[in-house]
Structure 1
Amino acid sequence: MSRRREPVPFAFVAEADTFRSNVAPPPPEPSSAGQIAGRWLLAVTIVAALVGALVIGMPALSLDHTAPSQQSQASQSSEGR
């Protein structure tokens, strides 16, 4: 199945990469004090959540070396009955 190659009928598609506008966009508005405070509050909340998750998750990540000795003591005391 062969396809026919036809030229692109829209010339602006080929020239879109080279087009430059002489109109500059308006400068961004300066942030208000409320917006800056909101960004800081959001950042502090995210950092606190990550630290809290790390603090809560650390016991699950640590190796518990005392657990086997407690289990062995419990099994020895049940055998002695």
Structure 2
Amino acid sequence: MFRKTQDSSQSDLFSGFGQLLDDKKDKKLNDPKAWYNIFYKYFVSRIDEEKFAVLFSSTGRPNASVKTLVGMMSLKEGFGWSDSQLFEQV
């Protein structure tokens, strides 16, 4: 089942780890000039997930974030990483 990624600043139980970081690490994570934030702003956030909807059946478990998966695949191919290297870096 295709489900579009919800762009929300509200954190949840699994992705809202910002409150666990000290001020220095939180500032580094949210730095707008950090490569990962620029990558998200100019690449990941612009991915049109609707184009991938045809790859999913109409029944079953909802998909993971297509934007995140495409972003990770792009990093993997761009750096020439193996799957295990990708997961170590991400």
Does the pair score TM above 0.5? no
Report the TM-score when normalising by structure 2.
Answer: 0.22
Ranked by relative contact order (alpha carbons within 8 Å, sequence separation 6 or more), the top structure is 2
